[in-house]
Amino acid sequence: MSLPSRPKRCSRPRRLLWGLFSSLAALSTLSFLLSGGHEVLLSHSLPYVLPGGGHPIGTPLLPSADAFLLLPRPEACTPRAPSLLVLVASAPGHDTRRQAIRATWGGTHWAGELTVRTFFALGVPSEPQLQAALEGEAAEHGDLIQGRFLDTYANLTLKTLALLGWAVTHCPGALFLAKVDDDVFLNLPTLAEELGRRATLEPAYLGRIHWHVWPNRDPRNRHHVPATLYPGGSFPPYCSGSAYILSGAAVPALLGTARQVPLVPLEDVFVGLCAHRAGIVPQHLTHMAGATHLPVDPCCYRRVLFSVHGVSPQDMVAAWDAAAPHEEVCSLWQRALGILRCKALTWMAAL
């Protein structure tokens, strides 16, 4: 699938203007996230208290009507939302990764009994010439969600708020929402089997849990969290940001507590803090690979694990092409060992 050709490099004045626009966009996005003027009150997200404790849930923190530069086609979530809404956190220059996902698991519209739709969330590129390429990509595929904030590592929390807000305002009604990174291979059939065994009425937050993680106080580290922002000790348990699942009821609940949670730059920690305040206890899924890297193995990728992180576009396609949808790719002993074998392969790859 060919990508739109990139235009020639812009002149220096135009680059400076674009940089100014990007900075203003980032500031304006932060402003609407921290202010109350943009709130949209939905009928299914009135203030309530979760069963079993937790703080009262307020009006969800939602984006304003002009918070996005690019949106998927209107028919993406009509006449009804998909059962499983997959939102991939991507970056403007990661077009090859997006193409690999579209050509593999992201092009799937059914997983077991669940309908599935996959979209990509990103911000404003620092290189102005990339915006034209993104607009061409959006016109061709209709699956980009672009917020009005500069796409940087420090703005990953804004990106997560934007994609969750888009889900509630533009695609309400999904039973589950999966947030994944754009280097994740998502095993939709096996994941659908797991989700099919779970009730969706209660808020749920599922993934590979990190316990007892302390804030990094080194200002030179990109994971730095100053004590002025988060003065506490270790973070509450939270799911790895590489891939986690939220039930439909959990999304407005998280957004309903977002204003009372410090805007830490670590998006997975931020989601965990919102869940903790809302009284939603994360549930550990051992079959989520988390942030560990696993070499391409059809049995692990297509049968055992729900997600694999750190997968290149080439390996994404190789893992997809290694097995037909209903082909048995695990031998008897591989099935017997299951996740233990996949963990051993991961360990050996790290040697």
Residues across the chain: 351
What is the average per-residue pLDDT within 278-288? Answer: 95
Measured between alpha carbons, how far is residue 256 from residues 49, 54, 168, 250 in Å? Answer: 11, 12, 12, 10
| 223-238 residue pLDDT tens | 999 999 999 899 999 9
More confident residue, 326 or 141: 141
Beta bridge partners of 88: 120, 180
DSSP-derived letter for residue 4 is P
Which H or E run includes 138?
helix 129-141
DSSP conformation class of 52: T
pLDDT band at 121 (very low <50, low <70, confident <90, very high): very high
- Residue 279's SS3 state is coil
pTM for this prediction: 0.83
User: Higher-confidence residue: 40 or 142?
Assistant: 142
Query: 183-216: b or e for each residue (b if 16 or more CB lie within 10 Å)?
Result: bbbbbbbbbbebbeeeeeeebbbbbbbbeebebe
CA angle 222-226-230, nearest 5°?
115
Say what the pLDDT of residue 173 is: 92
Tell me the average pLDDT across 84-110.
Answer: 97
Mean pLDDT for the stretch of residues 136-163:
96
CATH code that applies to domain 13-292 = 3.90.550
pLDDT digits (tens, 9 = 90+) for 4-46: 443 444 444 444 444 444 444 434 434 434 333 233 222 222 2
DSSP labels, 213-239: PPPB--TTSTTB--TTT--SSSPPPEE
